[in-house]
Amino acid sequence: MAVIISREFVIPSQSGGGSASNFIVFTITTGSNSSTYRAEQGMTWGQWCNSSYNPGYYSIRDGYVISSSGYSVETYDTERLVSESNVIISGGVYYTPMV
């Protein structure tokens, strides 16, 4: 039986961002750990990686989102690499494969 450990990073409104209704949440799973993050609605991955919403675990390399462990971030349903120009999906589930 797999155990999922979830961490939620709650970050107050930043840099003049609007009300809480302008925020979305999404999840990134790595192995058996799952973390929920916040972003502004319509924010791209490139914007998010370079913002204070990113706790520092993710960056852009060659146009794609990479975890601090060096693994790519992929969409959970289609297993496609997440590019910096992709808009973050509200309620989206992403993962970093551990090969």
| Per-domain residue ranges of the chain | 5-12+22-96
Considering only the top CATH level, what class is 5-12+22-96?
A: mainly beta
Looking at residue 99, its pLDDT comes to 56
Q: How big, in percent rounded to 5, are the helix, strand and coil portions of the chain?
A: 10, 40, 55
Work out the pLDDT band at 19, boundaries 50, 70, 90.
low
Which residue would you say has higher pLDDT here, 12 or 1?
12
Strand partners, 75: 94
**pLDDT tens digits, 37-92:** 999 999 999 999 999 999 999 999 999 999 999 999 999 888 899 999 999 999 99
pLDDT reported for residue 20: 56
Q: Are 32 and 5 in contact, with CB atoms under 8 Å apart?
A: yes
pLDDT at 10: 42
pTM > 0.85: yes or no: no
**DSSP H helix total and E strand total for the chain:** 1, 7
Per-residue pLDDT band at 14 (split at 50, 70, 90): very low
Q: Which two tokens stand for residue 33?
A: 């750990």
Q: How far apart are the first and last CA of the chain?
A: 20
Question: Which residue in the block uniquely carries the two structure tokens 């916040």?
Answer: 38
